[in-house]
């Protein structure tokens, strides 16, 4: 479905309403001080929250929040020496109220890369240590975004999208790690990731099954671009020699984008 298809099918009406109600929407969290911590007595591991994805389903009474946590490397926890696995991999967890997803990315296309489990089975369940900023201000103009960038103010962005077929919506919220600005042309561009990208085109029996990793970019209020992690061929000349997990699948969608100054 193209961007014009979204607007033709009525998403434009939704987007106008979402933009008008931006200040009454999902309140940002403080990404410098928010964590999830396990309850398992053998390792009460604490994960830093790197992004949040809210899924809003008109068939459910409450939204579902997924917290994507910062990645680490596979390790021999509490070992006396040689703390990293020899066959090492990137380890990244996502936690929701029902399901959790663990990503284990090796140097090649490993088969157990993505695992969906009940959240309560992961470290005995999680305690949410979510902190709100002391002060939040919606930045309404590019000039305000440039000024906040120059002032060194922490920025948090939200990108809201909808699937016209299912009626499912997602709000991707994340700290703005990279902000590009052009003073002379009064321009900005957000580029941040990873985030927990959700497939809104269908409803899954296990909601975590629809989650993937992506980066997001936008430079205006009405559209966003995602690049999703996907199996990607590595070629030498015209020959594919192997496949790896890489951010290579591009998507452009209609969206409502918001940027907040958080202090």
Closest CA to 230 of 242, 252, 216, 213: 213
Closest CA to 44 of 123, 129, 122: 123
CA 130 to chain centre: 16
CA 74 to chain centre: 22
Q: For 236-247, give one letter per residue: b (16+ CB within 10 A) or e.
A: eeeeeeeebbbb
259 Cβ contact partners less than 8 Å away, ≥ 6 residues apart: 138, 139, 145, 155, 156, 157, 176, 190
Domain ranges of the chain: 3-262
Per 3-state DSSP, the chain is made up of helix, strand and coil in percentages (nearest 5) of: 15, 50, 40
> How far, in Å, are 27, 58, 137, 217 from residue 226 at the CA level?
23, 24, 25, 6
Q: Which residues pair with 254 in a beta bridge?
A: 223
Closest CA to 137 of 258, 262, 2: 262
Q: What is the pLDDT of residues 96-108, one digit of tens each?
A: 999 999 999 999 9
Q: Are 212 and 226 in contact (CB under 8 A)?
A: no
Q: What is the pLDDT along the chain (263 residues), one digit of tens a residue?
A: 444 444 333 444 445 454 444 444 799 999 999 999 999 999 999 999 999 999 999 999 999 999 999 999 999 999 999 999 999 999 999 999 999 999 999 999 998 899 999 999 999 999 999 999 999 999 999 999 999 999 999 999 999 999 999 999 999 999 999 999 999 999 999 999 999 999 999 999 887 899 999 999 999 999 999 999 999 999 998 899 999 999 999 999 999 999 999 99
Q: What is the pLDDT of residues 110-151, one digit of tens each?
A: 988 999 999 999 999 999 999 999 999 999 999 999 999 999
Q: Are 49 and 29 in contact (CB under 8 A)?
A: yes
d(CA 105, CA 102): 10
């Amino acid at each position: 479905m193209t961007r014009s298809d979204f607007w033709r099918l009525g998403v434009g009406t939704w987007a106008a309403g979402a933009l008008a109600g931006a200040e009454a929407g999902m309140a940002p969290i403080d990404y410098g001080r928010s964590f999830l911590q396990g309850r398992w007595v053998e390792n009460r591991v604490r994960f830093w929250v790197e992004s949040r994805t809210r899924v809003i389903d008109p068939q459910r009474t409450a939204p579902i929040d997924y917290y994507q946590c910062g990645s680490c490397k596979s390790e021999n926890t509490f070992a006396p020496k040689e703390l990293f696995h020899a066959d090492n991999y990137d380890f990244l967890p996502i936690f929701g109220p029902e399901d959790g997803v663990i990503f284990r990315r090796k140097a090649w296309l490993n088969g157990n890369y993505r695992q969906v489990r009940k959240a309560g089975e992961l470290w005995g369940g999680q305690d949410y240590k979510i902190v709100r900023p002391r002060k939040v201000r919606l930045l309404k103009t590019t000039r305000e975004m440039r000024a906040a960038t120059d002032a060194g103010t922490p920025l948090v962005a939200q990108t809201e999208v909808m699937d016209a077929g299912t009626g499912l919506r997602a709000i991707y919220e994340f700290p703005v790690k990279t902000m590009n600005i052009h003073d002379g042309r009064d321009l900005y561009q957000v580029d941040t990731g990873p985030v927990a990208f959700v497939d809104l085109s269908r409803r899954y029996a296990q909601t975590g099954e629809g989650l993937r990793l992506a980066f997001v970019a936008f430079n205006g209020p009405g559209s966003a671009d995602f690049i999703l992690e996907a199996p990607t061929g590595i070629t030498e000349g015209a020959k594919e020699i192997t496949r790896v997990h890489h951010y290579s699948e591009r998507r452009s969608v209609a969206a409502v984008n918001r940027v907040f100054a958080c202090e």
